[in-house]
Amino acid sequence: MFIVDNYTLAIVFCFITMLCWGSWGNTQKLAGKTWRYELYYWDYVIGVLLLSVIFAFTLGSIGENGRDFLTDIRQADLGNIGSAFLGGIVFNAANILLSTAIAIAGMSVAFPVGIGLALVLGVIINYIGSQKGDPLLLFLGVGLVTVAIIINAMAYKKASSGKQKVSTKGILVSILAGVLMSFFYRFIARSMDLDNFVNPAPGKMTPYTAVVIFSLGVFISNFLFNTVLMRKPISGKPTDYKAYFKGKLPIHLVGILGGIIWGVGNSFNLIAAGKAGAAVSYGLGQGATLVAALWGVFIWKEFKNAPKGTNRMLAIMFLLFVSGIICIIYAGQ
């Protein structure tokens, strides 16, 4: 299988994760003009699963190092399979809760609270599980990125009309989403031998196999989570599967593309974790919030008519973000 054999390439893979995790939402934004989120989300999870299978039979089955996908899945312990599968369930619950929080409180509240909390807790959890990297630099970097996310929220609030009251329910749902999101990665990482991808310990899985099992957890749990959301939506009228199958091919492809983009980032992040360590890899990947902010600022022009002082806040935000990323990178060396 393909293995990242040096730290520099691992960091490149983490940056690709950051770009993917911060960019897949553009497909939701495009589809959202004519397509309900609950319907889009089905195509999204199909894309996540499809990408994992493609990678398993290509990158996960070539080369002389490591175990190929079919060999690996046959020898995997049920406990490790269950851990990766549970990671998929936890992620799916967190992702749907985050979407619910966005619907209730808006992106300016849900993302900084939810993803900011997931970033901080996730790095702590993954560092405890696999202690790779300089903790001082690592947590300094996480702190800088967290402050950048908070400033991003303040900029959103300043740019908005200020007439909307922040929902307590939205904040609570955002916190719950963030707590759940901080755990999913550790469940996947625990199912793999992060110290040796070349000759993984018996019973442990390679990243490619773990991602397939994780994606199955996302897909299967979606029959419960998303069905409930379709019948009892946060906003709008209930929808059903009949509406989904009435959708035209192009709109389905947009959602599948979104899942593939997120899936590429997830796979690359776990592949990189062998060299960078789970905490560094996860921490860099969750910088995706700021990538999403870049899309909002420069492509979607969300701050086009923002009041005076907003641009200064955005400049400080990006400066802190870059500084935090540099700290995290050096922490892993």
Residue 106 has pLDDT above 70, yes or no: no
| Rounded (5°) CA angle 52-20-30 | 100
pLDDT band at 222 (very low <50, low <70, confident <90, very high): very high
| Rounded (5°) CA angle 244-288-323 | 170
| Mean pLDDT computed over every residue of the chain | 89
Supply the pLDDT for residue 317: 86
Supply the pLDDT for residue 248: 95
Residue 99 has pLDDT above 60, yes or no: yes
Higher local confidence (pLDDT), 265 or 118: 265
For 66: left if phi > 0, alpha if psi spans -120 to 50, otherwise beta; the answer is: left
- Residue 18 resides in a domain: yes
* Residues 161-217: tens digit of each pLDDT: 555 555 677 778 888 988 999 999 999 999 999 999 999 999 999 999 999 999 999
- Residue 254 resides in a domain: yes
107-121, 195-209, 232-246: range with lowest mean pLDDT:
107-121
pLDDT more than 70, % of the chain: 95
* Residues 6-57: tens digit of each pLDDT: 999 999 999 999 999 988 888 888 888 889 889 999 999 999 999 999 999 9
Q: Which domain holds residue 71?
A: 7-331
Residue 69 has pLDDT above 60, yes or no: yes
Supply the pLDDT for residue 92: 96
Q: Which residues are CB-contacts of 286 (< 8 A; sequence separation ≥ 6)?
A: 21, 115, 118, 119, 122, 123, 145
Q: Which residues are CB-contacts of 199 (< 8 A; sequence separation ≥ 6)?
A: 66
- Residue 1 resides in a domain: no
Tell me the C-alpha distance between 62 and 164, whole Å: 54
59-68: average pLDDT: 91
76-91: average pLDDT: 97
6-10, 108-112, 189-193, 253-257: range with lowest mean pLDDT:
108-112
Q: Other CB atoms closer than 10 Å to residue 253's CB: what's the count?
A: 14
56-73: average pLDDT: 94
Amino acid at 330: Y
Supply the pLDDT for residue 93: 94
- Residue 177 resides in a domain: yes
Q: Which residues are CB-contacts of 220 (< 8 A; sequence separation ≥ 6)?
A: 88
70-86: average pLDDT: 97
Supply the pLDDT for residue 307: 82
Supply the pLDDT for residue 145: 85
Domain count across the chain: 1
| Euclidean distance between the first and the last CA atom of the chain, given in angstroms as a whole number | 24
Supply the pLDDT for residue 293: 73
257-285: average pLDDT: 94
Residue 60 has pLDDT above 70, yes or no: yes
Higher local confidence (pLDDT), 78 or 149: 78
141-162: average pLDDT: 79
57-79: average pLDDT: 95
* Residues 279-328: tens digit of each pLDDT: 999 989 888 877 877 787 777 776 677 788 888 888 898 899 889 889 99
- Residue 243 resides in a domain: yes
134-141: average pLDDT: 92
Tell me the C-alpha distance between 184 and 214, whole Å: 9
Supply the pLDDT for residue 130: 81
